[in-house]
Amino acid sequence: MKKILVIVLFLAIAGELFSQASAPLNKRISYTTDAYPLHRAQKALTDVIVHDIFSPPVASRIYVYANMAAFECLAAGDHNLGSLHGQLSKFPAIPAPGKEVVSSVAAIHAFFNTAKQLVFSEKRLMDSAAAVLKWYKTKSVGPKQLAASEAYGKLVSDSILKWVAADNYKETRRMKRYNLLKQPGTWLPTPPGYMAAIEPHWNKIRPIALDSAAQCKPAPPTRFATDSSSAFYKEAIEVWQTGKQLSTEQIAIASFWDCNPFFLNTQGHLNFATKKISPGGHWMLITALVCRQKLADIKTSAAAYTIVSAAIFDGFISCWDEKYRSHLVRPETFINSNIDESWRPLLQTPPFPEYPSGHSVISTAAAGVLTSIFGDNFAFDDSTELEYGLPVRHFRSFKEACDEAAISRLYGGIHYRPAIENGQTQGRQVGEIVLQKLKLNR
């Protein structure tokens, strides 16, 4: 009888852990790991990024610097973690923490102190920080430890922010806006908002692991042509035909990976935005999901967040370098002008040139990094889109997820096939370089 009770109790606990691992991040509670506050911090930052409507490249910048700060606090007090000092050019040396410092508490402070300098809604973010930090008061962390940890977290954050200030971001804010080219086949603003091109100077931003923005330059796009026998015209026909005969599953895939923070609703003369996570935000939440599923501790989780965010950040720099080199026209513009003037893609076309596909680049880079950490056949349920009204999707591996994210752009009608396939090749290269350059575990 006792054996039966033990088995029943074990199954009940296992079931609870499984249900929490599969639940949305904002519905889960702490159960075993000291990484709980870091996961909450990530979700709080994502919520603010969505609220402030940052572009995908800018969002990636916020994620990577906040996570670097948290990781450096942990690395400074643990010889098993490899500091970014010495790995990245001019990255500051972080002093060792004092005896009263609790590294995990300091890491959360550094995360929020860094992030608040990079977002608009600072108060909203710091309200979340206060709620997250209350967790440590229930874990017998004394007042002296809390004060020392807060001071150390700020010291680390301030040091890293000086390094951040030299990444050319401020300089790009003062550069000229994108001028439309008057050449056939070049990008034009698209409906419904006809928004200006986003971040045309992003290739000027300092990468994390890449030697330059052009290090992973992809093969050039197919030569533009309007002749119906040309390769380019046939690529456009594929987008058009695919969009006209989408299956229920293809629509679900395209919608799940939309990740368009610029989505504009139009009702008559009324325009309003629907806020969504960015492609990078989606993969940061996947990272949170799998860290929780593995019950990873705060050090393992911080390393995962840092290296994934670095791959996403460098992926956007590499991708945007090519976007504003090739300046390629979007399928919607070409199809409306040359094939079918009434055709509309399933997804709203984002406001920047077509080639290559940003989601394909950063998804493949992130998936490669996650595979190196958690293995080739790591199955997971992706619940990140539940709060946006979309159901959970199951993946047998990170590769399966990134492949689906990439092909979703064809289903959505916003990319030609070469942008997807060559974008994945580019993303794979970025991920490999990030893994070669950053050694976060000794």
pLDDT score for 17: 35
CATH fold match for the domains 31-170 and 179-437? no
Query: Exposed (0-12), middle (13-18) or buried (19+): which is 267, by Cβ within 10 Å?
Result: exposed
pLDDT score for 262: 84
pLDDT score for 264: 87
- Does residue 273 contact residue 263 with C-beta atoms inside 8 Å? yes
pLDDT, one tens digit per residue, over 403-426 is 999 999 999 999 999 999 999 999
Q: Tell me how far apart the alpha carbons of residues 304 and 358 are, in angstroms, rounded to a whole number.
A: 21
Q: Tell me how far apart the alpha carbons of residues 123 and 383 are, in angstroms, rounded to a whole number.
A: 28
pLDDT score for 77: 87
Residue spans per domain, the chain = 31-170, 179-437
pLDDT score for 27: 37
**15 pLDDT more than 50:** no
pLDDT score for 22: 35
Helices (H), 294-416: 298-326, 331-338, 358-374, 398-411
- Cis geometry, peptide bond prior to residue 353 (ω within 30 degrees of 0): no
Give the C-alpha distances (Å, rounded to integers) separating 364 from 202, 301, 402. 20, 20, 5
Mean pLDDT confidence for 275-284: 96
Q: What is the CATH number of domain 179-437?
A: 1.10.606.20
pLDDT, one tens digit per residue, over 349-392 is 999 999 999 999 999 999 999 999 999 999 999 999 999 999 99
**8 pLDDT more than 50:** no
- Does residue 125 contact residue 63 with C-beta atoms inside 8 Å? no
Number of helices followed by number of strands (H, E) in the chain: 15, 4
Query: How many CA atoms lie within 13 Å of 51's alpha carbon, on the beta-carbon side?
Result: 13
pLDDT, one tens digit per residue, over 137-176 is 888 889 999 999 999 999 999 999 999 999 999 999 999 9
pLDDT score for 125: 98
Q: Which residue has the higher pLDDT, 254 or 141?
A: 254
Q: What is the CATH number of domain 31-170?
A: 1.20.144
**65 pLDDT more than 90:** yes
- Any residues with CB less than 8 A from the CB of 143 and at least 6 apart, and which? none
- Does residue 311 contact residue 430 with C-beta atoms inside 8 Å? yes
